[in-house]
Chains A and B, each alone.
Chain A
């Protein structure tokens, strides 16, 4: 028995006369229509991008024009004043500095730790599912709600220690720093509140970054006799670091500009002093004992001062407000530049 010969030559009946095709565009009305729609869509996207950009440029331009003549070195080296010519943002700058430093210090370890637990360790139970779903809800809660929470929990501490105005009680930590009870309207209370605001954002961003790490990397590492912690420490976290750091910086940038929770917890609107009297970076080095006192001091922040200037009657303070906005934007761009740098540094270590 033999197999029938395999034939690849088409039989005459299979061959139909090919329709001639004109490849010069625009020859066919259907194709012309499709190409036209394609171009229209491209233009729609272009317009969407440039209209947003135009609004931003207009806003920036009006602010910069407004601040000209007012924004100078003395603006960032002097504190607030009733005289628009002398008012400066120094108190707000230092207030924001302490606030953000403390917030970052508290929220980053907590946020990354929670994300690692939820993604790498937690079993899929109803409790973890409830937590995961509610994290996105928490990220969407308006910050003023956190402000009210912070006022009750941190500033007044449920009035467990008597009225916050009295500030009679305090705990002495190692004899170096005195923490008032209840906390009252100090930087520490503001930072704790701000931590609540940005913690869900950091956790969600970190979770996304951890989830993007291919699970084959984890399996391969475990198969080589690495423990779970070694796998996370040497493979998963380095691979997720660019994503995590971007999320952290975006969250921190949000905290810099957020005003509502600070007003809610009673941060000062007009402050003519810097926390713990540290009014220049030099004092951080020459008088380090004050660093621990700063978080226990009252404060104001850049967005609060800007808000205060902007609502003053008359036009006298509008260049001051504009100058404040420019300083705030500069600080934000420094942070974003830092984010880009961290992203570059951490992804360079990864040899994808």
Chain B
């Protein structure tokens, strides 16, 4: 029986799938820099979430989530809308604190410390755990001032140090060549894809070790999306990245590890290749083959 989703595939794809019967979804090649066969057990944990429950008022949206994110790797969080993946992402730098009436139990260890403790300095935590949002949010300032914002609010005043930092961050975000001659111009004049890379550069400027990305490419065109994906491949050599995405192809291209959320539960987590070729849960298989969601 040919499912609807398979009719959308090209004959070549269908043939490739026919030759490998265990493959649920044909996994596209990974972007450069992401080695999906990497042995992650060699990497110490950057983030360890244990028994996390999250509530909006009386409404529980996360149920006993346990997840370990290895250092210098990319973890993709997938799942249908409203499954709690973005909520989980935002607890990792306590951005949910900004929403009134939220409550969280359980623990999240970063560098051996439980960041859910009330005594945690969230300002320091957010410098260490950077974040990039779905909608690019450049400040209405110059490109330079955007990137220099994080270090400046942290107290850096030295113009030369800031200039070096801005250049290196823009280079890491693959934006330097495009903007080096117009650092003083408004960041709002950049294209959508450039703005998103600027936001990544801005997040890198606080020298974080963990980078959270909440659907960073969902508002971008295919060319810009591909640039962001390549960038993730480059950055994961030095940063731990957690990315929420609705795009299955993207999750499989850029991540070492994939976690599937459904209705507030972490259904399955494992190496990306395994999740996309032989998931152990029926629910995961149904989701990634497009039977629901």
Contacts and interface: CB of A to CB of B under 8 A. Distances in A.
A222 B126 contact: yes
A90 B206 CA distance: 59
B188 A225 contact: no
Contacts of B205: 224
A220 B139 contact: yes
A231 to B, nearest CB: 8
B194 to A, nearest CB: 14
Interface string B68-111: 00000000000000000000000001010010100000000000
B158 interface: no
A220 B95 contact: no
Contacts of B186: 351-352
Interface in B124-181: 124, 126-127, 130-131, 133, 135, 137, 139-142, 149-150, 153-154
A346 to B, nearest CB: 11
Interface in B182-212: 185-189, 199, 202-203, 205-206
A350 B142 CA distance: 9
Given A1-B1, A225-B124, A220 B140 contact: no
Nearest to A235: B139
B202 A224 contact: yes
A352 B188 contact: yes
Nearest to B140: A350
A239 interface: yes
Interface string A301-326: 00000000000000000000000000
A216 B139 contact: no
Interface in A222-236: 222-227, 230, 234-235
B199 A220 contact: yes
Contact of A124 (B100, B124, B185, B187): B100
A345 interface: no
A350 B1 CA distance: 59
B123 interface: yes
Interface residues of A, number: 25
A217 interface: yes
A44 to B, nearest CB: 38
A350 B153 CA distance: 18
B173 to A, nearest CB: 14
Nearest to B186: A351
Contacts of A239: 140
B93 A223 contact: yes
A11 interface: no
B133 A219 contact: yes
Contacts of A235: 139
A214 B139 CA distance: 10
Contacts of A220: 133, 137, 139, 199
A224 B203 contact: yes
Contacts of B22: none
A221 interface: yes
Contacts of B1: 1
Contacts of A222: 95, 98, 126
Contact of B188 (A3, A226, A351): A351
B108 to A, nearest CB: 17
Contacts of B2: 1-3
A225 B127 contact: yes
B19 interface: no
Contact of A223 (B7, B124, B131, B189): B131
Given A3-B7, A124-B100, A226 B153 contact: yes
Nearest to B128: A225
Contacts of A226: 123, 149-150, 153
Contacts of B153: 221, 224-227, 230, 234
A123 B140 CA distance: 27
Contacts of A225: 123-124, 126-127, 150, 153-154, 206
Contacts of B149: 221, 224, 226, 234
A351 B145 CA distance: 11
Nearest to A218: B98
The winner among B1, B2, B98 for most chain A CB atoms within 10 A is B98
A351 B140 contact: yes
Interface in A1-34: 1-3
Contacts of A3: 2, 7
Given A3-B7, A223-B133, 5 more contacts: A1-B2, A219-B137, A224-B205, A225-B150, A351-B140
The 7 closest A-B pairs by CB, nearest first: A351-B186, A225-B127, A224-B150, A220-B137, A226-B153, A350-B140, A223-B131
9 contacts: A221-B139, A223-B126, A224-B126, A224-B149, A225-B123, A225-B124, A239-B140, A351-B141, A351-B189
